Chain A
């Protein structure tokens, strides 16, 4: 049977405008970028400005609370009261509205409803779209942190003096701005069922014991518990094992109830402690992992070590001695633990898996100086290199090679530098046989323990022009030996250049000397 569908009704002018505006907003690159920036500023912990914003909000909260406390018994200057009642409240209100705005997209709700209606050939139902927007915004407003935000704005209506106590809600806003408090909440919320059950149990005990003690004590002239409120208060004080002693049962029946409440109180406390401890134990790995990721993201630049083998341990140690930052990824838990014991940022994960790098959330282009594939298996290093290439085309990769036969495969995987340790040992052995003293000299220069080192100093255009020629270097006061000048453009090494040798930008001085004197020389070159 053919079902006749009515054609879409022509959209009214107002509806046209709503939908058109929604489409215009969705299409506007500027609007989307602005909204994204605001969202990033409010929600993205990696945003450098968020830290400053959070710090400012925390400061405002403390100012607010200090004023509230001082106002109890002292006069507070009108300026501060104005600042507290209007300025701070307006800032909090603006923040609340911005958060409400960036949560979801009203224009997307309108477009979705419009397109759905268009698809089934029915008139656009604006109120349904508005309903969807309200539901979406309410979803945000129902969140505990959003409720706290709203409460913190209430003191704005300062005419309602009673509402000033709501300033204390501003303290709860600290949960939003401090990561550790958020983590604490998240850990506790993982055990909310257990904690809620315990709370219900404790409430029942408090209520039952409170009622019982009231029944037994209220009519006794020797007892100080005369009202149900006092009975409940006594019950809470007793179950919490605080026991102020301002209210005590006077009858034997009341004391029997007290004994039950005291024993129950000990049990409740023990259970709560064990629930909290187990929540922390269970979540600790996740907390540590999150912290590791945050630490890695906070680094401006670092070397990424994929595999923490024996070579990795030594490489990391030397790089750290040079003041470099190192991040380790290894699939082995023991290796990660060892790396952490060495004070490195280490994350457990498969270096050959995209997920590991996605979890780490690092910016390869900005942060990673070089990736070092130091696994003892060529297969693992190839897998790591290909994964990294999939993540970022340009990142520099160096890998060790276990078997000569695999050299080509590592190159094909996009590894820039392949280091075959066995070949190097062969070269060294060959050299050592002929010139043992010379060999010792060169290898001592690259040793970690050596005070004398070789180093390279790149000259920029400005410094090179100012110096003119090597005669102006004045290496002697720094006890530096100039081995030569490397021309980066011409890829040529000028050994022991003669007097008058002209320096240019991009020239690299190859020098030998005492490490700290080389540092002083570098600084001096730029200060002259």
Chain B
């Protein structure tokens, strides 16, 4: 059983996803036209053909579903929706990410079983507005997220017995002198609710919470060690 990234479709979005993830994970491209197959092969990917009438249960056995990520990136909206539904039926425990044009599509894809939907038009529009309205912030966050810079973003899970357990975000943000900045917390007690530290300043940190932190690589590692995080 292999843990893989399976990308369905080979349009420009799919090409870019494949290029980004191939450095860290095994990528397999699923296409349903000869032209797409040809291009994917030329780009050096493993390619498989699929048909919308396929039953995916046999294919699902080949992969380590909980560790696999499936990208539904077909251009035709209806086909992408149908594919997402079919894949969810077969890959029950895999992470399915689908591309949507707008919010309506995004909602339907969620209903079809996608774990995460990228509303590409909305994301593009958001980025355009950020670029023209907040160019510095956008540039800084872009570097932190996507470029190989020392400044990184990381998620750290609070383990049992950590000295952070019981502390309030308030104490960490404005009273303490941490070398990293905690920007958000996912609280298990609140059903994995996402809390920004700037808003939930009185929030109690508990075991199992996930901290989203920004800092330099060494600082993040040192912080992880000091709190005994995972």
Q: Is the CB of B12 within 8 A of A438?
A: no
Q: Is the CB of A442 within 8 A of B141?
A: yes
Alpha-carbon separation in the docked complex, A484 to B143 (Å): 14
B135: nearest residue on chain A (CB-CB)? A456
Which residues of B108-161 have CB atoms within 8 Å of chain A's CB atoms? 116, 118, 120-134, 136-138, 140-141, 143-146, 151, 153-155
Chain B residues, Cβ within 8 Å of A369? 132
Alpha-carbon separation in the docked complex, A499 to B176 (Å): 12
Q: Is the CB of A479 within 8 A of B201?
A: yes
Q: Is the CB of B20 within 8 A of A311?
A: no
Which of the segments B40-48, B57-65, B82-90, B181-189 contacts the partner chain? Answer: B181-189
Chain A residues, Cβ within 8 Å of B102? 310
Q: Is the CB of B121 within 8 A of A314?
A: yes
Contact of A435 among B17, B133, B153, B198 (CB under 8 A): B153
Nearest Cβ in chain B — how far from A488, in angstroms?
8
Instruction: Report if A432 contacts B (CB, 8 A).
Output: yes
Instruction: Report if A240 contacts B (CB, 8 A).
Output: no
Which of the segments A126-134, A145-153, A227-235, A422-430 contacts the partner chain? Answer: A422-430
Q: How large is the interface on B (under 10, 10 to 19, 20 to 34, 35 or more residues)?
A: 35 or more
Nearest Cβ in chain A — how far from B65, in angstroms?
15
- Binary contact track B1-31/A, C-beta < 8 Å → 1, others 0: 0000100000011011111110011000000
Q: Is the CB of A429 within 8 A of B215?
A: no
Q: Is the CB of B154 within 8 A of A514?
A: no
Instruction: Report if A403 contacts B (CB, 8 A).
Output: yes
Contact of B140 among A434, A447, A483, A513 (CB under 8 A): A483
Instruction: Report if B205 contacts A (CB, 8 A).
Output: no
Instruction: Report if A72 contacts B (CB, 8 A).
Output: no
B196: nearest residue on chain A (CB-CB)? A452
Instruction: Report if B91 contacts A (CB, 8 A).
Output: no
Known: A303-B132, A514-B198. A433 touches B25 (CB 8 A): yes
Q: Is the CB of B123 within 8 A of A510?
A: no
Q: Is the CB of A481 within 8 A of B183?
A: yes
Q: Is the CB of A315 within 8 A of B125?
A: yes
Q: Is the CB of A454 within 8 A of B21?
A: no
The prevalent SS among residues of A at the interface is mixed
Nearest Cβ in chain A — how far from B143, in angstroms?
8
Contact of B216 among A427, A433, A480, A495 (CB under 8 A): A495
Q: Is the CB of A421 within 8 A of B126?
A: no
Q: Is the CB of A419 within 8 A of B128?
A: yes
Nearest Cβ in chain A — how far from B79, in angstroms?
18
Nearest Cβ in chain B — how far from A179, in angstroms?
33
Alpha-carbon separation in the docked complex, A310 to B215 (Å): 36
Chain B residues, Cβ within 8 Å of A499? 177
Chain A residues, Cβ within 8 Å of B99? 425
Chain B residues, Cβ within 8 Å of A167? none
Chain B residues, Cβ within 8 Å of A423? 16
**Residue count of chain A within 8 Å CB distance of chain B:** 70
Chain B residues, Cβ within 8 Å of A256? none
Instruction: Report if A496 contacts B (CB, 8 A).
Output: yes
Known: A422-B12, A432-B97. A496 touches B199 (CB 8 A): no
Q: Is the CB of B17 within 8 A of A425?
A: yes
Which residues of A398-437 have CB atoms within 8 Å of chain B's CB atoms? 398, 400, 403-404, 417, 419, 421-437
Q: Is the CB of B212 within 8 A of A451?
A: no
Instruction: Report if A77 contacts B (CB, 8 A).
Output: no
Instruction: Report if A191 contacts B (CB, 8 A).
Output: no
Nearest Cβ in chain A — how far from B2, in angstroms?
15
Instruction: Report if B173 contacts A (CB, 8 A).
Output: yes
B219: nearest residue on chain A (CB-CB)? A496
Known: A440-B194, A441-B194, A481-B197. A426 touches B134 (CB 8 A): no
Q: Is the CB of B212 within 8 A of A428?
A: no
Which residues of B153-180 have CB atoms within 8 Å of chain A's CB atoms? 153-155, 173-174, 177, 179-180
Instruction: Report if A388 contacts B (CB, 8 A).
Output: no
Q: Is the CB of B215 within 8 A of A495?
A: yes
Q: Is the CB of B215 within 8 A of A496?
A: yes
Nearest Cβ in chain B — how far from A524, in angstroms?
16
Q: Is the CB of B69 within 8 A of A456?
A: no
The residue in B19, B128, B216 that gathers the most chain A C-beta atoms within 10 A of its C-beta is B128
The residue in B145, B177, B194 that gathers the most chain A C-beta atoms within 10 A of its C-beta is B145
Nearest Cβ in chain A — how far from B140, in angstroms?
5
B199: nearest residue on chain A (CB-CB)? A452
Query: Which 10 A-B pairs have CB atoms at the shortest separation, nearest pair first?
Result: A426-B16, A430-B20, A314-B125, A452-B196, A441-B184, A421-B124, A422-B12, A426-B20, A429-B17, A476-B174
Give the A-binding residues of B (Cβ under 8 A). 5, 12-13, 15-21, 24-25, 69, 71, 97, 99, 101-102, 116, 118, 120-134, 136-138, 140-141, 143-146, 151, 153-155, 173-174, 177, 179-181, 183-184, 186, 194, 196-199, 201, 210, 212, 214-216
10 A-B pairs in the complex with CB atoms less than 8 angstroms apart: A322-B133, A419-B128, A421-B120, A427-B145, A429-B17, A438-B153, A438-B155, A440-B194, A475-B174, A514-B199
Given A319-B133, A421-B124, A456-B136, list of 19 further CB < 8 A pairs?
Answer: A314-B125, A324-B133, A421-B120, A422-B13, A425-B16, A426-B18, A430-B17, A431-B145, A437-B210, A441-B212, A442-B141, A445-B141, A446-B127, A446-B130, A447-B126, A479-B199, A481-B183, A496-B179, A510-B136
